[in-house]
Amino acid sequence: MITGGYTLDLHCENEAVHGFMWNWSFKESAGTHIGESDKSPYGGSDSPDCLVPRFSLLSTAMTEYEQLASIPQKELWELPLDEILKASTLRETLVARFAWAIPNEEALAAIEKAAKGRAVVEMGAGKGYWAKLLQDRGLTVLPFDKKKQPDAWTTVKKGTPKILTRHSDKVLFLCWPSYDDPMAHDCLKYWKGDTLIYVGEGNGGCTADDAFHASLDKYFTRLRSVGIPQFPGIHDNLTVYQRKQVRLRAVSRPKLR
Ligand SMILES: C[S@@+](CC[C@H](N)C(=O)[O-])C[C@H]1O[C@@H](n2cnc3c(N)ncnc32)[C@H](O)[C@@H]1O
């Protein structure tokens, strides 16, 4: 579980997210920390006034989390209807506040290992939650998104896949590219780097489009996959890919006379 180095309100939220699918047990009351926070993870004002609306959003997530704490990790169709509704409400709340995928220590460590000290560029970063966790581990992460994100966890610059032509020296990180959206495939058109980290479902799943998955198969080798906590009915994980070596065909030289 990630605890070190965060401001307290971010720390509480990590606890909630990281504990979410691991054991379905609620550990901490966010309310106990709100007065202790000395720095906002949002990069804005740190005054208590500024934290209140964020805190109420957080406490909503906590309350819903507490309500769901007894739901076991199952497929959606194995759950009674009322549990499905509760689970999807919780998912909506957490996704809107944090990220579409739930990070864990193994996933963050895998990104750090794959980066080998290089910077990471993230496209479609949303609120930058994963980027913030990685930055807090000491990684250089440049998160971009086409939309300006309110309440982002870190600075998420405006950018689209085209800018990746300038970032081929970096590791590319894609977390939950939207279903049937060309964004992830566009990234592969512009970024020519060697190491790609993708969090999402596999081919035929609910993330990215067919062209992206076809390109992964054709141009990349899967190095390793890491399990992450999953919302009920979601089958996402983290995979590290390496670009396949392009073999240049030997061209026969004309004989010198
Ligand atoms: C499903 S969300 C995932 C966000 C984030 N990675 C997360 O896990 O919370 C997909 C994100 O991709 C962004 N996006 C879609 N098309 C994009 C594009 N062409 N360029 C940059 N970002 C894009 C959306 O604005 C959205 O934030």
- Identify the bridge partners of residue 220 per DSSP, sorted by sequence position: 243
Q: Is 148 in the pocket of ligand 1 (CB under 6 A)?
A: no
- Give 95-98's long-range contacts (Cβ < 8 A, gap of 24+): 97/13, 97/57, 97/58, 97/61, 97/127, 98/13, 98/17, 98/127, 98/129
Residue 167 forms part of a structural domain: yes
Residue 252 forms part of a structural domain: no
Co-location of 81 and 122 in the same domain: no
| Arithmetic mean of pLDDT over the chain | 76
Dist. CA 61 → ligand 1 center (Å): 22
Mean pLDDT within 42-63: 36
Tell which atom from ligand 1 comes closest to the C-alpha of 101.
8
Q: Is 183 in the pocket of ligand 1 (CB under 6 A)?
A: yes
Sign, CA torsion 248/254/255/257: negative
Please say whether the beta carbons of 171 and 121 come within 8 A: yes
Residues 59 and 193: their CA atoms lie apart, in Å, by 41
Classify residue 247 by its DSSP letter.
Answer: P
Q: Which two tokens stand for residue 102?
A: 């739930």
Co-location of 130 and 236 in the same domain: yes
Residue 254 forms part of a structural domain: no
Co-location of 151 and 191 in the same domain: yes
Residue nearest ligand 1's atom 12 by CA = 124
Which has more confidence, 14 or 246? Answer: 246
Residue 156 forms part of a structural domain: yes
Co-location of 40 and 82 in the same domain: yes
Residue 76 forms part of a structural domain: yes
Q: Is the pLDDT of residue 81 over 70?
A: yes
Going by pLDDT thresholds of 50, 70 and 90, the confidence category of residue 257 is low
User: Which of 62, 97, 132 marks a domain boundary?
Assistant: 97
Which has more confidence, 166 or 251? Answer: 166
Mean pLDDT within 80-85: 80
Residue type, 103: P
Co-location of 150 and 227 in the same domain: yes
Instruction: Please tell me the total count of domains within the chain.
Output: 2
Question: Picking from 18-27, 136-145, 148-157, 198-207, which range would have the lowest pLDDT averaged per residue?
Answer: 18-27
Residue type, 187: C
Please say whether the beta carbons of 238 and 107 come within 8 A: yes
Co-location of 136 and 184 in the same domain: yes
Q: Is 147 in the pocket of ligand 1 (CB under 6 A)?
A: yes
Query: What is the chain's Cα-based Rg?
Result: 20
In the chain, % of residues over pLDDT 70: 67
Co-location of 93 and 121 in the same domain: no
Residue type, 211: A
Residue 2 forms part of a structural domain: no
User: Which of 97, 116, 151 marks a domain boundary?
Assistant: 97
Residue nearest ligand 1's atom 1 by CA = 178
Q: Does residue 239 sit in helix, strand or coil?
A: strand
The upper half-sphere exposure of residue 129, i.e. CA atoms within 13 Å in the direction of its Cβ, equals 23
Residue 215 forms part of a structural domain: yes
Co-location of 37 and 124 in the same domain: no
Q: How many helices (H) and strands (E) does the chain have?
A: 7, 7
User: Which of 97, 120, 142 marks a domain boundary?
Assistant: 97
Tell which atom from ligand 1 comes closest to the C-alpha of 122.
6
SS3 sequence of 201-223: CCCCCCCCCHHHHHHHHHHEEEE
Residue 40 forms part of a structural domain: yes
Co-location of 47 and 166 in the same domain: no
Residue nearest ligand 1's atom 5 by CA = 126
Residues 78 and 242: their CA atoms lie apart, in Å, by 37
Supply the pTM of this predicted model. 0.75
Q: Which two tokens stand for residue 97?
A: 């506040």
Direct distance between the N- and C-terminal alpha carbons of the chain, in angstroms, rounded to an integer:
71
Dist. CA 206 → ligand 1 center (Å): 14
Full residue range of the structural domain in which residue 20 is found: 8-97
Co-location of 74 and 160 in the same domain: no
**Look-up of token digits 């009351």:** 29
Co-location of 150 and 213 in the same domain: yes
Dist. CA 218 → ligand 1 center (Å): 24
Q: Is 157 in the pocket of ligand 1 (CB under 6 A)?
A: no
Ligand 1 binding pocket mutation candidate from 181, 209, 237 (most atoms within 8 A of CB): 181
220 torsion bin: left (phi>0), alpha (psi -120 to 50), beta (else) = beta
Q: Is the pLDDT of residue 169 over 80?
A: yes
Dist. CA 45 → ligand 1 center (Å): 26
Q: Is 201 in the pocket of ligand 1 (CB under 6 A)?
A: no
Q: Is 162 in the pocket of ligand 1 (CB under 6 A)?
A: no
Mean pLDDT within 171-189: 98
Co-location of 35 and 130 in the same domain: no
* CB proximity list for 242: less than 8 A, separation 6 or greater: 194, 195, 196, 220, 221, 223
Looking up residue 114, the CATH number of its domain turns out to be: 3.40.50.150
Dist. CA 198 → ligand 1 center (Å): 13
